[in-house]
Chain A
C-alpha cells in the first residue's frame, strides 16, 4: 500500500451567496490543514480549496494514509514488588503486563526517582486516515464560519450558510464514511443544475475537475473568470467597443455562475440622455450587467450580461434581459425627472425629518454641524496659506451635500448618494466647484478608492467624516471586532487619506475639538469629553498607521519611531517617517539606534528624574575625554540639526544626528555611566537625558528594531 493518497472533499450546497464563497474557501483550507496536521496526516502537500455557488471543494494531493505509530513507555510497580527474590514475576507484574497488553517477558527495568521500577513499551498503532477523516471532516464542515447562518433540518440541526445537499469525501478511490444532517458522504458529485447530470461518480481528484467540466461546471473560479473576460472582450471588440472595467462586478459574476457565458444586449439609445452614473448603477446594481463604452469613452447603448448557461441560441435570454433593463431604465427616468422638478436646496427642510442616528439627531442637524466644521477647516487652510479654497463655496457644498438623501433616485439607489446630489447641483446651476464637491464628498471610501477632485470637496468630506466619528464615539458607538455598523473605520481612513493626500498641515487634536464643539452647540447639547476626543484621535492615528504601511510600504518600527515624536500634524509625521526610512539604510544609523535604546534603558534604571537630574550639564564634572567630546559634538549637531528641522529637511537633520555615532560609541566604550561618585553620575545621566531629548524630536530612534541580518 502506498504511504500517501489524494483527498477530495466537496460540500454540495444550495446556492451560496456570491460574496461569501471565496472567504469560505480560505477558512476551509485553514481548518482542514489545522485538523489534518493535528492528526499527523498532513505530509508535504498542502490543501487547495476553491468554490462555486453550489460547491466548496478541498483537494490534498498526498495525504498520509495512516498515522505514524507512536511508542510510549509506561512505568509500573517497583522492581522489588514486581519480582520476588528468585526473580520470578509476582501478581503485581502479571496484572501490570495484562493491563498494558504486553507479554510479561517484555517488561524491563528503568530507574526512576522512586527507585528502580518495571516498565512496558507500548506501541500506539497509527489509525488509518480514512477512519480519522470520518470524524474530522464533519467537524471541519461545521466549523466553517459564515456571516449569517440558518437552520434547515430543525432547531437542533447544524447551522450553515445554506442547506447542504450532498457531500463527496474520498481518500484515493475509497469513500470516507460519515453523515451530516442526514446527508451521507459518497463518491458522486452533481453537474450544472440544468445542463449537467445529477449524479456523477468520480474516482478522486484526478477526474473530478474534468468530469465536472463535461457537465458544465467550471469548478475553479479562475477558469470561470477567464471565460467571462475572454467572451466579454470578444463581444465588445466585435462592435468596436470596450468593456467598462469593473473588477468587483467581475468577481461577483465569477461566483454567481458555475458555467458563465457572456451575452450582449441592446437598449434604446434615448436613455443615453440620462447621466451615465445612473445608467451604470442601474445596470450594475440590480442586474449585474457590464456597461460598454465607445472609442471616445462615451457610454454605448449596449450591455453585457453574464448568464449561467452555455449558449442562448434562440436569443430568449437576451430578450428577457433587455426587457427587464427597459423597465429599470423607465423607472430611473421617472425618478430623475421627478427629482429634477424640485430644487436641491428645497430638500433641506425635509432633512430634519431624516434621522442620522437616534442619539445624534437628524440629518438637518448634521448638515448644520458639518457646515460649521467645514468653514472652520477652510479657515485653517487659508491661515496656513493653502490656496484654491473659498469659504463660501465650502459652505454651499456642505449645505447641499446631504440634500439628495430625500430624492427618489437615492431612495432607489442608495449607492448613488452624493453622486445624484452632484448631478442635480450641476443641472440646477451651482458652480462646477460646488457640484463636484457635493458629488465627491463621500470619497474616499477605501484605501485605493478615488479622492475628492477639488479642495472644496476634500474639506466637506473631511468635515463630514470627523463629525460622524466624534458623534458616534461620544454616544458609545465604537467599532468592535468585525462589527462597525456606522463604517467608522472607513470614515477615519477617508479622513486620514484626505489630510495626507491633500498635504493639509492641520492640528488633528484641534480639528477633533472643533468637531466636538459642534455637538455642544446644537439642540442635543451633547457634551463630548476629553476622553472621547482622545479616543477619536487614537482611532485616527491608528488608521494613519494603516495607510502608511499599506500604501507607502513603511515599516511599523519606522512609523512608531516618528509618531513617538509627535502625530498631531499627520503630514509632518509622514515626512519624518519617510526621512527615517531613507536614513536608516545608511551605515551609522542602526548602531546609533541601538545606543539610543541603551540610553533609554540606563535612564529608566536610574529611577525618577528628580532624584538625579541636574539643572544643566556641568563640564567641570567630566572625567573622561569621551564625555567632553560627546557633549561638544551634541551641542554642535543640535544646532545644525535644528536648522534643518525647522526647514523640514528631516533627512539632512537625521544625517547630522547619525554622524554622532563615533562619539556615542566612544562614550560607551570608555565611560561607566553609573559612577561611584554621585555628582559625576548625576552629570552623566543629565548629559544622556538631554541628548535623548534633543535628538528624539524627529523620531524616537529607540523604537527602531535592528534590521535582521
Chain B
C-alpha cells in the first residue's frame, strides 16, 4: 500500500520561531543582524543594508527581516497566499562564498527540512529591479514545487557593475512557514504559540488593500511622488556642487530615503490602476535615475573615506 501522503497538521515551527531559526543560523555565519528599515518598500533589496553595502569593495555580511509591501498583490485578506505585505528574510554575503549553495541548503536543513525526503531544486530565474537599476543572475529555489527563496548573484546595483559579486538570498517567510505548518492559508499560521497570523495581520491586509485599490487619492499620490522626487533630486544636486569637505558629511542616505518613498508611491499608483503603460515606464525611469545617482554619490563618498572605516553607513 502506498502511504496516503497527507501532511500532519501543525508540525512545523511557529512563524516567529522560523524567523529566529534563520536569523540564528546566519548570525552564526558572521552576519550582522540588522533590523527592518523604517520606510515602506517592495523588497528587502531596497533596504540600505543591501542597496549600499553591495557597492564598493569592502566585504560585508548581513541578515534581516524586511516586511515588504506590494500594493498590487493585496487581496483584501481573502486570498490564502497573496498578500499586500509579506515578510522576507534577506541575507547578503559579500563576496559570495564558493560554497554558498551548500550553506544555503544547510539553512534549509536548519528549519527542519530533510533534503533527502523533499524535492529541492534551483530553477533559472534572473532577478531584476528596474526601479533600482539592479539585476542579478540566479534561481528561484523550489521546495516540492513551492517557490521559497530567490537566490541571486548580484551583478549590478544602482547602475553600477559590482565587484566583488555579492550573493543575495531572499526567503519568503510567510509561505515557508505555511508549508512547514501544513496550512493552506497563511492566515491560519501560528505566529506565536497562541496567536494566528490572521489575528495579527488580517485587518492590516484588508485596510491597506482597500487603500491601494480603492481609497488612495490619485492626484495626492502623484503630488507626493513629485515632492519626494524633488527633495531627492535637490539633495543630489547639492551634493554634486559641494566641495570635498561638504561631500564627506553630505546626507546621501537621506536622498535615498526620498527615492524609496517614490518607489512605494509608484506602486500605490500602479495598483490604483491610474497609470498607463507608457507613463509606467516613465515613472520607473524617474525612480531609477534617483537610485543610480544616489549609488554614484555614495561610491564617491566612501572612496574619500580612509580605509578601514570605509563603507560605514
Task: Give residues in A with beta carbon < 8 Å to B.
Answer: 14-15, 17-19, 53, 148-156, 162-163, 165, 182, 193-195, 256-257, 287, 305, 307-309, 312-327, 330-331, 334, 353-355, 358
Contact = CB atoms under 8 A, between A and B. Distances in A.
A531 B149 CA distance: 52
Given A14-B122, A154-B164, A314-B117, A319 B6 contact: yes
Given A320-B118, A323-B7, 7 more contacts: A18-B123, A151-B165, A314-B117, A315-B5, A316-B5, A317-B119, A319-B6
B193 interface: no
Contacts of A358: 278
Given A320-B118, A320-B179, A256 B126 contact: no
B124 interface: yes
Given A148-B137, A309-B119, A316-B117, A353 B277 contact: yes
Contacts of A53: 122
Nearest to B277: A355
Most buried by A among B120, B137, B146, B155: B137
Given A194-B116, A330-B80, A354 B124 contact: no
A287 B123 CA distance: 11
Contacts of A317: 117-119, 144
A327 B124 contact: no
B145 A320 contact: yes
B101 interface: yes
B153 interface: yes
B78 to A, nearest CB: 9
A195 B3 contact: no
**Interface size class of chain B, counting residues whose CB lies under 8 Å from the partner chain:** 35 or more
Contacts of A153: 164-165
A316 B118 contact: yes
A287 B144 CA distance: 10
A155 B121 contact: no
28 contacts: A14-B101, A150-B155, A151-B153, A152-B165, A153-B165, A154-B95, A154-B165, A155-B161, A155-B163, A182-B98, A194-B120, A305-B119, A308-B119, A312-B117, A313-B3, A314-B5, A315-B4, A315-B5, A316-B144, A317-B119, A317-B144, A321-B144, A324-B145, A327-B80, A327-B81, A330-B79, A355-B276, A355-B278
B19 interface: no
Nearest to B4: A315
B184 A323 contact: yes
A701 B276 CA distance: 57
Contacts of A323: 7, 144, 146, 179, 184
Nearest to B122: A15
Contacts of A165: 98
B122 to A, nearest CB: 4
B96 interface: yes
Interface in B154-198: 155, 161-165, 179, 184
B145 A326 contact: no
Interface in B219-257: none
B28 interface: no
A42 to B, nearest CB: 34
A324 B144 contact: yes
B126 A148 contact: yes
B115 interface: yes
Contacts of A330: 79-80
A354 B277 contact: yes
Interface string B98-124: 100100010000000001111111111
Contacts of B162: 155
Contacts of B278: 355, 358
Contacts of B139: 15
A148 B155 CA distance: 12
B155 A151 contact: yes
B7 A319 contact: yes
A194 to B, nearest CB: 5
A219 to B, nearest CB: 18
Nearest to B161: A155
Nearest to A355: B277
Most buried by A among B118, B126, B184: B118
Contact of A287 (B136, B145, B179, B184): B145
B144 to A, nearest CB: 3
B162 to A, nearest CB: 8
A315 B165 contact: no
Contacts of A150: 136-137, 153, 155, 165
Q: Which 7 A-B pairs rank lowest in CB-CB distance, beginning with the nearest?
A: A315-B5, A320-B144, A17-B124, A155-B163, A150-B137, A15-B122, A307-B119
Contacts of A17: 124
Interface in B1-42: 2-7
B296 interface: no
A234 to B, nearest CB: 13
A313 B3 CA distance: 8
